[in-house]
Amino acid sequence: MKIGILALQGAFIEHEEIVRKLGATVIEIRQLSDLEEDIDGIILPGGESTAQGKLLKELGLLQVLKEIIQSGLPVMGVCAGLILLAEKLSNDTKQHLGTLPIKVKRNAYGRQLGSFSSQSIVKDIGTVPMTFIRAPYIEEVAPIVEVLAKVDEKIVGVCFQNQIGLSFHPELTNSFKVHHYFIELCKKNSLKNL
Ligand code: GLN
């Protein structure tokens, strides 16, 4: 299994460590040629979505990545990564990849109170610890989008076809459950395409 991890900005090292511990190979995505690797899935890490979106555009990665996601490659967007995937942002005029039919509110918990830990059930995975850092939450989902997790009535995890979007950082906890789930999804998808 080869998992591409967008490595332009933000918390990508933590994902790399977990993916390697789970026995998969990491391909850092930093430039267009990295997307020519035969990857089985992509992780979009947390960080600063405006900076990441700008870099994706400047490096000519945005459109290619969008097409790869639309063609069905499994992707997991975490926090800023979720914002990159969202079709609409309620408090920002930007749209980045726009492949996930949801409306997301950036910095939704307020800048000062933005960091906290919680735990909740994620559908098909079980109870997972969750770290939120200046996190977005999901305000609206299209009917075809499956809600995977809620914390305090707010949607913090969704799945739509090959796309998983999470408000929280699973890589900043000591649980590998979410990554394990994602890698299994990538395996199933690769088998399907054989
Ligand atoms: N607040 C950041 C943004 O809007 C996301 C924070 C994160 O990824 N932890 O991009």
- 15 is annotated as an active-site residue: no
What average pLDDT does the structure give for the chain?
Answer: 96
Check pLDDT > 80 for residue 27: yes
pLDDT score recorded for residue 112: 62
Token reading at 106: 């950036």
Q: Please check the confidence at residue 73 and state whether its pLDDT lies above 70.
A: yes
Using only C-alpha atoms, the chain has a radius of gyration, in whole angstroms, of 15
- Residue 78 Cα: closest atom of ligand 1: 8
pLDDT in tens, 97-106: 999 999 999 9
- Report the top-level CATH class of 2-192: alpha beta
In ligand 1, the atom with minimum distance to the C-alpha of 48 is 10
pTM over 0.95: yes
Q: Which of 96, 159, 171, 179 is catalytic?
A: 171
Is the confidence at residue 111, as pLDDT, over 80? no
Helix/strand/coil for 75: strand
CA 174 – CA 61 distance, rounded (Å) = 31
Ligand 1 atom 2, closest CA: 48
| 133 CB within 6 A, ligand 1 | yes
Neighbouring C-beta atoms of residue 107, cutoff 10 Å: 14
Q: Which atom of ligand 1 is found nearest the CA of 106?
A: 4
> Known catalytic residue: 169?
yes
Chain length of the chain: 194
- Tell how far the Cα of 88 is from the centroid of ligand 1, in angstroms: 15
Give the rounded percent of residues in the chain with a pLDDT score beyond 90: 92
* Ligand 1 near 47 CB (within 6 A): yes
Distance (angstroms) between ligand 1 centre and the Cα of 74 equals 21
Spot the catalytic one: 14, 15, 16, 79. Answer: 79
How much is the pLDDT for 15?
98
140 is known as an active-site residue: no
Which residues lie below 8 Å from residue 1, measured CB to CB, with a gap of 6+? 23, 24, 25, 40, 41, 183, 186, 187, 190
User: What are the structural domain ranges in the chain?
Assistant: 2-192
Q: Does pLDDT of 110 surpass 90?
A: no
106: Cβ below 6 Å to ligand 1?
Answer: yes
Residues annotated within the binding site for L-glutamine are: 47-49, 106, 133-134
